[in-house]
């Protein structure tokens, strides 16, 4: 009976830890409207989206996206752009379960042999997960024509320098094949 309870506890802990393990690496995906001719896009402007909780991080996100777009030959303008760029940044706390098991052991002391059985330690902690979405709106109706999404863990107490590096890395991955080639 005791071993069955232990197995159930370990399985529950593993199931609870699975979502956090899946988010351990940063994931980037891109989608776009294949009917849009991106070769005609020359200028862009910003529209307000969902800002990051930290104003400094929001500025870093905008600078990273600006750098990527300028590297692709686009020019930022104040009026009548070909596209609008909108960013959405969010963070959530996800529970993470750490399970450690200790085996049998013992020693010989004044009272003879002292033996202990297996023990399991379970620790629950929150891990901060971030999501960055970059939307490109185009056409006369300003509909969504391109979207980049990045998700990843930021840790328990995120270091601003490391988060900034992640922002630079994910924006680079997002815009690697921007603008998409026709028929791609």
**What pLDDT digit, counting tens, does each position of 23-71 carry?**
347 899 999 999 999 999 999 999 999 999 889 999 999 999 999 999 9
Query: In which region does residue 47 sit, left (phi positive, over 0), alpha (psi from -120 to 50) or beta (all else)?
Result: beta
Report which of 145, 180, 168 is spatially closest to residue 26, judged by C-alpha positions: 168
Question: Between residues 184 and 43, which one has the greater pLDDT?
Answer: 43
Confidence band of 126 (pLDDT split at 50, 70, 90): confident
Report which of 49, 21, 9 is spatially closest to residue 137, judged by C-alpha positions: 49
pLDDT of residue 17: 42
Entry pTM: 0.72
Confidence band of 21 (pLDDT split at 50, 70, 90): very low
pLDDT of residue 7: 47
Please, what is the end-to-end C-alpha distance for the chain in angstroms?
A: 59
Q: Which CATH class is domain 26-96+125-174?
A: alpha beta
């Amino acid at each position: 009976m005791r071993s069955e309870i232990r197995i159930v506890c370990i399985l529950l802990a593993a199931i609870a830890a699975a979502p956090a393990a899946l988010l351990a690496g940063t994931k980037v995906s891109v989608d776009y409207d294949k009917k849009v001719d991106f070769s005609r896009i020359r200028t862009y402007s910003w529209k307000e989206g969902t800002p990051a909780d930290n104003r400094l991080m929001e500025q870093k996100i905008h600078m990273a996206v600006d750098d990527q777009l300028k590297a692709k030959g686009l020019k930022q303008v104040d009026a009548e752009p070909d596209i609008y760029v909108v960013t959405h940044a969010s963070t959530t706390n996800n529970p993470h379960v750490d399970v450690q098991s200790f085996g049998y052991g013992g020693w010989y002391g004044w009272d003879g042999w002292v033996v202990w059985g297996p023990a399991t330690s379970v620790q629950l902690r929150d891990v901060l997960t971030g999501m960055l979405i970059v939307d490109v709106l185009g056409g006369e109706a300003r509909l969504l024509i391109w979207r980049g999404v990045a998700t990843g863990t930021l840790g328990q107490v995120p270091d601003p320098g490391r988060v900034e590096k992640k922002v630079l890395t994910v924006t680079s991955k997002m815009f690697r094949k921007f603008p998409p080639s026709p028929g791609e």
